[in-house]
Amino acid sequence: MKNLKNLLIVAVAASIFSCSSDDDNRTIDPGNGGGAITDNELKGEISEDATLLASVDYTLTSSLTVKSGATLTIEPGTVIKAKSGRTDVFLAVERGAKLIAKGTASLPIKFTSDAASPKAGDWGGLVLAGKAKTNKGTDVESEVAGLLYGGTEDTDNSGELSYVIAEYTGAKINGEQEFNGISFFGVGSGTVVNNIIVNNGNDDGIEFFGGTVNVTNVYCANIADDMFDWTDGYTGTINNAFGVRNDGFDAASEDPRGIEGDSNSSDPTAAPISTPTLKNVTILNLNPDVQLKGGAEIRRGTVATIDNILFAAYGTASFGNRIDTNDDKGNGTVTITNAVSQGNVGTDKVGGDIDGTVTEITDGITVTADNTISTKTGIGADLSVFSWANQSFVVVKL
């Protein structure tokens, strides 16, 4: 059995603030990014290489955009608090720019709200743009942050996100525009993304708009809309993904889902077609008051491959559908292997093709009286790899 204890997220800050050479003992100047970093305040445009230091308590007071040609490096253990209650507070990385946010298990990098009582939607989120292919073109404007994305460089490198927590994201601009926790617009496979937590998001957890970036070990907890989402011809791999809605997290869109996969809603045949591969995935609902519309909705031309997935609902929590490939703007196709379901997760709604079957089980995941969640070895996501984040499960109605 692999267990993940019911603990609160602990942000660990480190005092790593300078580097020195053995021969001259000089302190390296982290730079101000061309004026966007003033003491502990972050806003404006990073036009020169700069580093955020773990010893500084940063506040993101407006948009911070890393311009093409510049690199923003963030030290392990850095905590960045975003000004809450505004829609113009976010971190954006242009095509041709890089973000190196390389935390560690003991010193993760954390983006959070500055509110005394933080909530989903307090600020925007992280937005990265790249030069990889999309089926919307090569110079497409992102839904948020006003970045251009797309191109022909599928191996494009936008930097690295490792051991990063983004929480209380999803500020709503209007009825059509909302930030996700982390958005990847045309981001290429040269970008490294692993060990990511998105917690308490008011829209999607992680969304891919085309591109080829691969993601390993990603955890989306308490997401108002879709935990994992893609569109615009995304062709990467998502490996070891865990999505959960806790009891008590009641923020919800009209149709929250575990997975929502689109290719192109205007033309489901547009190339490249979204052909992602998902491996080792768990979608779990613990909230009896909010039904997930679907465990996985694969639609609008998407051709997905899913291997080893667990759909689970605890107690009276439920899904509307388990897998849905039907859509009036184009059906989807999914090849699914080693799939199991547990609890009230609905039935499959087939409009396109579902190649493979989902086996119903009774012991894939358990919740004990102390709110420890256990999953059987080899079924769905491996929860033990997220122990560094000390994530919390909330199951009130035992």
Is it the case that residue 280 has pLDDT exceeding 70? Answer: yes
Provide the 3-class DSSP secondary structure of residue 383: helix
pLDDT score of 398: 38
What is the percentage of the chain residues whose pLDDT exceeds 70? 91
pLDDT score of 94: 98
CA distance 182 to 167: 10
For the chain, domain boundaries = 2-389
| Band of pLDDT at residue 25, cut at 50, 70 and 90 | very low
Is it the case that residue 16 has pLDDT exceeding 70? Answer: no
- Segment 324-337, tens digit of pLDDT: 999 999 999 999 99
pLDDT score of 342: 96
Is it the case that residue 323 has pLDDT exceeding 70? Answer: yes
Q: Are 39 and 55 in contact (CB under 8 A)?
A: no
- Segment 98-128, tens digit of pLDDT: 999 999 999 999 999 999 999 999 999 999 9
- Segment 52-74, tens digit of pLDDT: 999 999 999 999 999 999 999 99
pLDDT score of 392: 67
Sign of the torsion formed by the C-alpha atoms of 135, 137, 138 and 139 = negative
| Band of pLDDT at residue 374, cut at 50, 70 and 90 | confident
- Segment 141-186, tens digit of pLDDT: 999 999 999 999 999 999 999 999 999 999 988 767 889 999 999 9
**Average pLDDT of the residues in 343-363:** 95
Sign of the torsion formed by the C-alpha atoms of 242, 248, 250 and 255 = positive
Q: Are 260 and 209 in contact (CB under 8 A)?
A: no
Of 5 and 76, the structure prediction assigns the larger pLDDT to 76
Q: Are 292 and 318 in contact (CB under 8 A)?
A: yes
**Average pLDDT of the residues in 304-333:** 96
Short-list 146, 238, 241, 148, CA closest to 186: 148
Is it the case that residue 391 has pLDDT exceeding 80? Answer: no
Region of 328 (left: φ > 0; alpha: ψ -120 to 50; beta: rest) is alpha
Q: Are 361 and 340 in contact (CB under 8 A)?
A: yes
- Segment 189-246, tens digit of pLDDT: 999 999 999 999 999 999 999 999 999 999 999 999 999 999 999 999 999 999 999 9
Short-list 229, 251, 224, 225, CA closest to 241: 229
pLDDT score of 3: 45
Is it the case that residue 292 has pLDDT exceeding 60? Answer: yes
Sign of the torsion formed by the C-alpha atoms of 305, 244, 226 and 159 = negative
Q: Are 136 and 115 in contact (CB under 8 A)?
A: no
Sign of the torsion formed by the C-alpha atoms of 369, 370, 373 and 377 = negative
Rounded to the nearest integer, the mean pLDDT of the chain is 91
- Segment 239-278, tens digit of pLDDT: 999 999 999 999 999 999 999 999 999 999 999 999 999 9
Q: Output the CA–CA distances (angstroms, integers) from residue 185 to 32, 128, 152, 317, in the order listed.
A: 26, 6, 13, 33
Short-list 145, 135, 61, CA closest to 95: 145
Output the six-digit token pair for 147. Answer: 């970045």
Burial 265-288 (b: 16+ CB within 10 A, else e): eeebebebbbbbebbbbbbbbbbb
CA distance 199 to 393: 12
pLDDT score of 173: 83
pLDDT score of 23: 40
